[in-house]
Amino acid sequence: MKQVIQSLRSGELAVEEVPAPIVVPGRVLVKNRFSFVSPGTERANREIAKSSLLEKARQRPDQVKKVLEKIQTEGFSSTFQKVKSRLEEPVPLGYSCAGEVIAVGEGVEGLFPGDRVACAGAGYANHAEIVCVPKNLVAKIPEGVADEEACAATLCAIALQGVRVADLRLGEAVGVIGLGLLGQIVVQLLKANGCQVFGIDLDSDSVDRARSFGADLSAIRSEDVEKLALSMTQGEGLDAVILTAATDSNDPVELAGTLCRRKGRVVAVGTLPMNIPRRIYYPKELELRLSTSYGPGRYDPEYEERGKDYPYAYVRFTEQRNLETALSLMAEGKLKIAPLVTHSFSIEDAKQAYALVEGETEEKSLGILFRYDEKVESPTPPSHQSMEPHDQIGIGILGAGQFASGVLLPRIQKISGVAMSHVITGRGATASTVAKRYEIANAGCDPIAVYQDPSVDVVLIATRHHLHAEQTIASVDAGKHVFVEKPLALNREDLSKIREAVERKNRVVMVGFNRRFSPMAREVKQWFEPRTGPLAMLARINAGRLEKGSWLLDPAEGGGRIVGEVCHFVDLFQYWSGSRVEDVQATCLHSEGGDQNISVLLRFADGSTASLVYTAEGAQAVPKEFYEVHSEGKSAQLDDFKMLTLSEGNKSHTSKSRAQDKGHTAELEHFFDCLKAGKIPELSFESCVETTETTFRILDAIRGL
């Protein structure tokens, strides 16, 4: 299918043939008929993408700080690969579209193939022939509303949320500063709400257009606007002002305060500075309110991605219900979009459309549509590499996020006798970009292509955690060996099913527990060999906080940090001791996020013990990982895989490494060398199962089970 994407590195825009998405639970697969270009947001995105790396850095100092911290801990080369991978990710454009439902995923109710729907959401409702959108960001199009108008429903929801935040009453006088696309929609919504409207803009055509939509008063920005506002309010001033301008000037904020009555409201919808002039706002006791995009649910992954709706009685208008309201107003004739559309382009001509958006031509534009062909065929991706399955190991890649594309794939590419033949991701544009970068023959969105390809010997699984078990089982049942990133499974039921599949098909399954392959971790093990006594092991992990709402913390999707990350340290303890865990004790901080702050004591069959403190509360200045191992008069101290001190008696030797090496390269080389030689990897499937089961036992102990 065709999709409009841009390069984050260069800003280059292209219409590319990419794999079409597939329907997944909780989402709706839609064949687009029209999508709407948001001039303000998409112009801003284009400007950021086209800026130099230095300008990008100036705009995001927080990201620069993270990069510098990564260089200190992981070294320049590793950090460079990750930054390069991030910059080369394709950025899909667009967030408002309309089309026909092709299929609905499990858990989606009330929608059926053939229904006409409007869709919202950056990263979902893109400028593409086929989109896969979460159910809470989809609304049915009423009879009488054309697809050409319905595709603007998301922008209408943004305007509608601004009106709702203003909390207006029938008959109140409201100013609208900025009569671009959003401003014209706000004018219509205010009139439908029974308000008096005063529109203000720098452009005379925009002022005239607002008047045609029913504005009681509209004027070009001048010193006279204050007098006009007073004249329409019996000298009191406007009840509220909605800012829909997109500008670097602080004038709209200052003007809004000047036009408002005492105790009035100013609502910011557009992108503009927020330098609040105290001399204007303080004497009038004005309220400044911010309107968040399409409404309640925005930026909440529970609502948008996981489909959990807010109770109707408590949150009357959510993102989805704002979409539905906007479409209803269109059906009633109270909201007109057609007069705002100045240009319509075929998706193939996207560059011409963005030339208008970015002001590269003298021609004026307002609303811009992309239209799509009725027939959409799934293209055969171009071949970037000839495969030789007889003397090479063929790999199918499931998932190509930042870790896979920045850490795993560059290393696999350097291993001789190994060829990546498929890359499958949730977004076709990502799959195509990764395929080109690593010369992978096939890009797609459906893992079935990997399972059914006889030239694929190994499936590498680097998707989100909740998919690992399902994809591991499907790969093994298809006769493939598996390298799966941690965790192997999120619960005992899935772990049992994986064991059954491996026993049934006798395939190699190895989990990405890379730390045991680190050169310094190997030195620690060698330091204590041969030994007759047990080990006393200790680990302090300063993991840092995850953002609230992160998918990694969701028990159903990420599994939480114990299952999702603590497994690494359990495996490392098992490697050093060479023994299995017999007893587990654990406790956590009795506070919010307690399971991110745990103390664990493990006892092994050979008598060894391991004490683990895993915390999200530590200072950033403290390195992430520190280990100690003691036995029979010997000690080892491993500091973040960059410094190792080995001691015996009164003597110590310290070795340092500039770059952090956590064993990713050695891990992958070992796995593929074993497959070539027909050997079982050192990290056995049984050991991976033991580690995963131990994380479940840690959870049980914390819960008092």
Go through the domains of the chain in sequence order and give each one's CATH number.
Answer: 2-152+300-371 (3.90.180.10), 156-290 (3.40.50.720), 393-511 (3.40.50.720), 515-703 (3.30.360.10)
d(CA 532, CA 223): 90
Question: In sequence order, which ranges of 602-644 are alpha helices (DSSP H)?
Answer: none
d(CA 419, CA 705): 46
C-alpha dihedral over 615, 619, 620, 624, to 10 degrees? -40
Given this model, what pLDDT does residue 43 score? Answer: 65
Given this model, what pLDDT does residue 63 score? Answer: 64
Residue 104 has pLDDT above 50, yes or no: yes
Closest CA to 299 of 165, 136, 75: 136
Closest CA to 108 of 147, 138, 150: 138
Distance from the Cα of residue 527 to its chain's centroid:
43
Please give the angle made by the CA atoms of 440, 444 and 446, to the nearest 5 degrees: 130
Query: Which pair of tokens denotes residue 201?
Result: 């803009």
Residue 62 has pLDDT above 80, yes or no: no
For the chain, the distance separating the N- and C-terminal CA atoms, rounded to the nearest angstrom, is 51
Residue 57 has pLDDT above 70, yes or no: no
- Report percent pLDDT > 90 for the chain: 81
Q: HSE, CB side, 13 Å, CA atoms: give it for residue 445.
A: 19
Task: Look at residue 342 and give its three-state secondary structure.
Answer: strand
Contacts of 366 (CB under 8 A, 6+ apart): 39, 180, 181, 184, 340, 341, 342
d(CA 515, CA 607): 23
d(CA 287, CA 367): 31
Residue 497 has pLDDT above 80, yes or no: yes
Query: Which pair of tokens denotes residue 316?
Result: 């009357």
d(CA 50, CA 338): 31
Distance from the Cα of residue 510 to its chain's centroid:
27
Average pLDDT over residues 281-300: 95
pLDDT top residue among 388 and 632: 632
Query: Which pair of tokens denotes residue 354?
Result: 């963005």
The burial of 311, by beta-carbon neighbours within 10 Å (0-12 exposed, 13-18 middle, 19 or more buried), is given as exposed
Contacts of 196 (CB under 8 A, 6+ apart): 171, 172, 173, 174, 216, 217, 232
Given this model, what pLDDT does residue 378 score? Answer: 42
Q: Is 23 in contact with 448 (CB distance < 8 Å)?
A: no
Place of tokens 């190895």: 510
Residue 86 pLDDT grade (very low, low, confident, very high; cuts 50, 70, 90): low
How far is the CA of 540 from the CAs of 74, 369, 569, 580, in angstroms?
18, 55, 10, 21
Residue 11 has pLDDT above 60, yes or no: yes
C-alpha dihedral over 591, 691, 661, 464, to 10 degrees? -70
Mean pLDDT taken over the chain: 91
Given this model, what pLDDT does residue 48 score? Answer: 59
pLDDT top residue among 383 and 496: 496
Q: Is 164 in contact with 267 (CB distance < 8 Å)?
A: no
Residue 388 pLDDT grade (very low, low, confident, very high; cuts 50, 70, 90): very low
Residue 52 has pLDDT above 70, yes or no: no
Average pLDDT over residues 264-273: 93
Kindly report the length of the chain. Answer: 705
Given this model, what pLDDT does residue 381 score? Answer: 38
**What pLDDT digit, counting tens, does each position of 306-346 carry?**
999 999 999 999 999 999 999 999 999 999 999 999 999 99
Largest CA distance in the chain: 95
pTM value? 0.78
The burial of 590, by beta-carbon neighbours within 10 Å (0-12 exposed, 13-18 middle, 19 or more buried), is given as exposed
Average pLDDT over residues 641-668: 95
pLDDT top residue among 69 and 574: 574
Average pLDDT over residues 358-366: 85
Given this model, what pLDDT does residue 385 score? Answer: 29
